[in-house]
Amino acid sequence: MAQTNRLALGGDIDRTKPVNFTFNGHHMQGYAGDTLASALIANGVRIVGRSFKYHRPRGIMAAGTEEANALVQLETGARTLANQQATRVELYEGLSATSINCWPSPDFDLMSINSWFHRLMPAGFYYKTFMWPVSGWKYYEHIIRRAAGLGKSPVEPDPDQYDHMHVHCDVLVVGGGASGISAALAAGRTGARVILVDESKDFGGQLLNEQYTINNKSASRWIEDALAELSTMEDVTVLKRTTAFGYYDHNYAGLLETRTDILTDGGDKTRQRLWHVRTKRCVLATGALERPLIFSDNDRPGVMLASAVRTYIQRYGVKPGNKAVIFTNNDDAYRTALALKEAAVKVAAIIDTRPVPDGELPTQAIAAGIEIIDNATITGVNGGRGVKSVEVMSLNAAADGVMGVARTILCDLVASSGGWNPVIHLHSHSGGKAKFDQARGIFIASETLQASECIGAANGDFLLGDCLNEGFRAGKEAASKAGFKKASRRKIPIAEHIVEHPLRLIWALPSTKSIGERGKHFLDLQHDVTAADVQLAAREGYASVEHTKRYTTLGMATDQGKTGNIPGMAVLAQALGVDNPGDVGTTTFRPPYTPVTLGAFAGRNVGVLTDPVRMTPMHHWHELAACKWEDVGQWKRPWYYPKQGESMQDAVNRECLAARNAVGILDASTLGKIDIQGPDAAEFLNRIYTNAWSKLAIGKCRYGLMLKEDGMIFDDGVTTRLGENHYLMTTTTSNAASVLGWLEEWLQTEWPDLKVYCNSVTEAWATLSICGPNARALLSEFTDDIDLTPDALPFMGMKEGTVGGIPARVFRISFTGECSFEINVPASYGLALWTQLMVAGEKYGITPYGTETMHVLRAEKGYIIVGQETDGTVMPQDLGMDWILSKKKDFIGRRSFTRPDSQRTERKKLVGLLPVNPNDILEEGGQVVAEKGDHRPIPMIGHVTSSYYSANLGRSFALAMISNGTERIGDRVYVPMDGKTITCEVTAPIFFDSEGTRLHG
């Protein structure tokens, strides 16, 4: 395909550098400097995709971020990018793009049959149709999703790198057009730290698309000089291809910088960079976006924004059509007529909705011999696959209907302009309000919550001279408010501009029949929302623009309604009989301004860097032993150690038997350890824990329960008194950080009078827990200064000394019900001691066991795990732990025991469950019911909290929380599971050594 629509001259492209690309498999050529959109236009491509709902053919309608139709899937495989606007994709060698939302091709699309059924698909169609019956959605959904699908996400991991930058600055200037460049210059000259960003590859904004002079030289020369000056300023950062996608509280902005295109191997360069900017002041010079006129069938390929047509001709040297009609309500679009004329493209007529267009630009157009049809509108666009002609009629006096005879004008391009909307998105992101300016027909920024200001076109000042003035004033003022008051004698640049006459606001232009009856007046091209849809929503009672938006999906597509929102609000206001569109409210713009890839948000935090991994000192040994891992919070804990050919159950059975019959060893280093010191430490523990601590002797340990003020269990663990004013608290692995926070909170906020200091020492110690009948014999080989006999070191005792020559604390505490020693040594000795114990323990049958075996052994003893048996609604009484509740003192949560809810007799209580068939293993989380049967509903009386097969018991068993459970001991209950219902007997929650002889042995 040749570049049939490329102009011989003009444009900021390099005709000596051809660039090859493919579109829907067709090989094409553009030039360096093209966007994908301008290259497609050059190659005569008119239909680039299909619309979302009706699958109508669509063409390129804009030249920038406001493009609603030309979405493409860029590249394939791992680097594919969905829903890219062709107008924002810079052309590069080898680019490959395909249309989305059409099948099999944009030229012939099977789903376009939807167009014929449009009367059956009104606003709220999905809500009205597919929500009944409720169960039907799962059948409809996948069909609808396929029919409506936009682009596809890659399924492979992203091969590219992304990174983040965190910076502070004095003045952030968003937008590198005339206003933004002026502001950056003025601010930079004061010595302030300035960041200037623009989303395009070139600075200049609208100046790039027009032919202005500034200070008697061309605008491009002025831009060049300004950038050269900025580059000499040490504290000024200028970022191109960088979008300020969000502006947040306290002057925090998110910028996305594109650094390489997709196919270039950037080497060390990251593909994109996310900038986190905290600025003192922000100047929003984000410009304006042209809005289309809303007329019948305004979505045909070939209907474009007037400014876009001008941009394609003047910046890219391509003509989007051969015979144009300009349709406008303002003077600015006349520039497009003049530009077309200069590029030798025929202009059939300018249709102006205003009765007497007599400004300077219309006068120029008349002088150029262009026909102007005033007080008129387009009532229809002919040509489903591309504009062939338009019907034009005169407006009646009220401008709500047409009169006279329709005139058909042959053309293949309609350049439409309904005025310009200031881009106040960033202002709105950060909580700024907007007000409607009736005279100019625009929403402009009113109150802001940030240290920011919208200037230039973003504030509705569209004339070049005003933009330059405002930019200089705002830049200087922002720097001054940030503390940089250095004066500059440089003069504000002078530019000539043509004064324009006011526009005429008619939001939905009438046709020969009422709106919706003939053709479609599209507001939101990407989501196929029409003026008739918004009017229907108003008739159905939607009065708020926020509700209407959600009901009709107006402005909810990937372009977020950059062209459609404002006309949509105006149409709603009209339908509701409200004069001022500002009175129906404005929708709040939300970040991101343009889509941001997830890779950019993730930055370097991918793969192994996603989350920190915490490893115990013995990690390497476990790894060599080929254990299976369990993730507990950020910790890696050995789950079980399978031997050759063993299943998980085989390994756990072996480990369980060894721990009870020989000696087992567990890496318990992950348990939280908090060092607590101070003269009031005992009093503090009295208040934090449910039991009494004042009389605990030095060298003794005690189990404690921590509650929240509502009386529910929060954590448990053993605390040991190491000295007069010195305790070591242990917590559950996953709660270690929250327990430390909890202690600090009470000490700082409620009891600042207590002299107590807490410090996390979790990672300072390695904890090796050995248990079983041979544990004492093994350990006695390693120590001669600690008397391990039961009298000298009884259950819940602690001794300090040396183990294997290493300074150690040995605790007689047990989570398995066996005689057990927890050896704490400084973390760096952990691996050495573990290795020695394994060697010496061989003759005793030492067996390392993991968390699964630990869970089974503790459940056999009925020991709870916080977070497994408890879930934030469980009180100590529910677990039969009344024994641990002191009656002589107050503690956190105690008062809540007498709350009415705590007194309910039907509260769930901890019990044991024995399946009648000893080989049935219940599912944890399974619901317990009291009766068997098919009648519904069956009242649920509780749930299974822990369930295992026990090699020591030779059968399955479980723990459960069951309503009024203690009263049900001996009863039968039922647990319905997938496929069958398991019958169980309710027992006391202890299954092994209920007298505790082994524990104390």
Partner 1 sequence: MLLIPCPWCGERDEPEFHHGGEAHIKRPLEPDQSTDEEWAEYIFMRTNPKGVFLERWVHQSGCRRWFNLARNTATNEIIGAYKMGEKPPISTIANKQKTATVSNKKPKGVK
Question: Which of 768, 731, 952 minimizes the C-alpha distance to 848?
Answer: 768
Cα separation, 319 vs 411, whole angstroms: 13
Q: Which is nearer to partner 1, 369 or 900 (CB)?
A: 900
Binding mask 656-695 for partner 1 (x = CB under 8 A): ----------------------------------------
Q: Is 125 in the site for partner 1 (CB under 8 A)?
A: no
Q: How far is the CB of 885 from partner 1 (least distance, A)?
A: 14
Q: Which is nearer to partner 1, 453 or 655 (CB)?
A: 453
Q: How far is the CB of 529 from partner 1 (least distance, A)?
A: 22
Please select the residue that binds partner 1; options are 4, 580, 835, 873, rule is CB under 8 A: 580
- The count of chain residues that interact with partner 1, using the rule CB under 8 A, is 35
Please select the residue that binds partner 1; options are 750, 787, 882, 923, rule is CB under 8 A: 750
Q: Which is nearer to partner 1, 140 or 757 (CB)?
A: 757
The SS3 assignment for 574 reads helix
Cα separation, 7 vs 316, whole angstroms: 9
Please select the residue that binds partner 1; options are 135, 153, 647, 748, rule is CB under 8 A: 748
Q: Is 577 in the site for partner 1 (CB under 8 A)?
A: no
Q: Is 93 in the site for partner 1 (CB under 8 A)?
A: no
Q: Which is nearer to partner 1, 220 or 588 (CB)?
A: 588
Residue 31 β-bridge partners: 18
Cα separation, 552 vs 547, whole angstroms: 9
Per-residue tokens: 547: 């509700």
Q: Which is nearer to partner 1, 278 or 407 (CB)?
A: 278
Q: How far is the CB of 158 from partner 1 (least distance, A)?
A: 24
Amino acid at 813: I
Q: How far is the CB of 749 from partner 1 (least distance, A)?
A: 5
Answer yes or no: are the C-beta atoms of 734 and 831 closer than 8 Å: no
What number of H helices and E strands is found in the chain?
Answer: 22, 49
Answer yes or no: are the C-beta atoms of 255 and 240 closer than 8 Å: no
Cα separation, 533 vs 198, whole angstroms: 36
**Does an H or E element contain 573, and which?**
helix 565-575
Q: Is 710 in the site for partner 1 (CB under 8 A)?
A: yes
Map tokens 């248990």 to a residue. Answer: 771
Cα separation, 612 vs 738, whole angstroms: 17
Q: How far is the CB of 904 from partner 1 (least distance, A)?
A: 14
Q: Which is nearer to partner 1, 585 or 773 (CB)?
A: 585
Per-residue tokens: 712: 């529910």
Q: Which is nearer to partner 1, 724 or 890 (CB)?
A: 890
Q: Which is nearer to partner 1, 107 or 249 (CB)?
A: 249
Q: Is 539 in the site for partner 1 (CB under 8 A)?
A: no
Residues 413-472 binding partner 1 (CB under 8 A) are: 431, 433, 435, 447, 449
Q: Which stretch binds partner 1 (CB under 8 A): 121-129, 172-180, 676-684, 749-757?
A: 749-757
Cα separation, 267 vs 161, whole angstroms: 10
Please select the residue that binds partner 1; options are 136, 679, 741, 805, rule is CB under 8 A: 741
Q: How far is the CB of 757 from partner 1 (least distance, A)?
A: 12
Q: Which stretch binds partner 1 (CB under 8 A): 109-117, 265-273, 725-733, 740-748?
A: 740-748
φ and ψ at residue 481, rounded to 5 degrees: -65, -25
Q: Which is nearer to partner 1, 576 or 777 (CB)?
A: 576
Cα separation, 277 vs 168, whole angstroms: 6
Q: Which is nearer to partner 1, 374 or 680 (CB)?
A: 680
Q: How far is CA 991 from CA 299, 916, 954, 956, 988, in A?
A: 75, 15, 11, 11, 8
Q: Which is nearer to partner 1, 752 or 954 (CB)?
A: 752
Q: How far is the CB of 570 from partner 1 (least distance, A)?
A: 13
Residues 776-835 binding partner 1 (CB under 8 A) are: none
Q: How far is the CB of 748 from partner 1 (least distance, A)?
A: 4
Question: Which of 267, 237, 271 minimizes the C-alpha distance to 256?
Answer: 271
Per-residue tokens: 389: 């002609």
Cα separation, 181 vs 174, whole angstroms: 9
Cα separation, 846 vs 781, whole angstroms: 14
User: DSSP E strands: which ranges in 839-882?
Assistant: 846-848
Q: Which is nearer to partner 1, 141 or 744 (CB)?
A: 744
Q: Which stretch binds partner 1 (CB under 8 A): 493-501, 557-565, 580-588, 640-648?
A: 580-588
Q: Which is nearer to partner 1, 15 or 708 (CB)?
A: 708
Q: How far is the CB of 746 from partner 1 (least distance, A)?
A: 10
Q: Which is nearer to partner 1, 895 or 932 (CB)?
A: 895
Residues 857-896 binding partner 1 (CB under 8 A) are: 890, 894-896
Q: How far is the CB of 250 from partner 1 (least distance, A)?
A: 4
Q: How far is the CB of 171 from partner 1 (least distance, A)?
A: 17
Q: Which is nearer to partner 1, 584 or 770 (CB)?
A: 584
Please select the residue that binds partner 1; options are 93, 371, 496, 745, rule is CB under 8 A: 745
Question: Which of 302, 318, 298 minimizes the C-alpha distance to 531?
Answer: 298
Q: How many CA atoms lie within 13 A of 315 on its CB side?
A: 28
Map tokens 């394994």 to a residue. Answer: 838
Q: How far is CA 188 from CA 455, 458, 676, in A?
A: 17, 21, 54
Map tokens 């004061």 to a residue. Answer: 190
Cα separation, 927 vs 958, whole angstroms: 13
Q: How far is the CB of 198 from partner 1 (least distance, A)?
A: 24
Amino acid at 693: W
Q: Is 582 in the site for partner 1 (CB under 8 A)?
A: yes
Residues 586-615 binding partner 1 (CB under 8 A) are: none
Cα separation, 607 vs 199, whole angstroms: 30
Q: Which is nearer to partner 1, 544 or 994 (CB)?
A: 544
Q: Count of CB atoms within 10 A of residue 918's CB?
A: 14
φ and ψ at residue 857, rounded to 5 degrees: -65, -40
Q: Which is nearer to partner 1, 280 or 637 (CB)?
A: 280
Binding mask 293-322 for partner 1 (x = CB under 8 A): ------------------------------
Residue 97 β-bridge partners: 23, 74
Residues 893-922 binding partner 1 (CB under 8 A) are: 894-896, 898-900
Residue 978 β-bridge partners: none
Q: Is 583 in the site for partner 1 (CB under 8 A)?
A: yes
The SS3 assignment for 821 reads strand
Q: Are strands 194-197 and 162-174 parallel, antiparallel or unpaired?
A: parallel
Q: Is 150 in the site for partner 1 (CB under 8 A)?
A: no
Please select the residue that binds partner 1; options are 264, 363, 488, 544, rule is CB under 8 A: 544
Q: Which is nearer to partner 1, 43 or 690 (CB)?
A: 690
Q: Is 752 in the site for partner 1 (CB under 8 A)?
A: yes
Cα separation, 910 vs 893, whole angstroms: 20
Answer yes or no: are the C-beta atoms of 732 and 672 closer than 8 Å: yes
Diameter of the chain measured on Cα atoms: 114
937 upstream amide cis, omega within 30 of 0: yes
Residues 228-267 binding partner 1 (CB under 8 A) are: 248-252
Q: How many residues does the chain have?
A: 1001
Per-residue tokens: 658: 């060894």
Which residues in this chain contact partner 1 in the complex, by CB under 8 A? Answer: 248-252, 278, 431, 433, 435, 447, 449, 543-544, 578, 580, 582-585, 709-710, 741, 744-745, 748-750, 752, 890, 894-896, 898-900
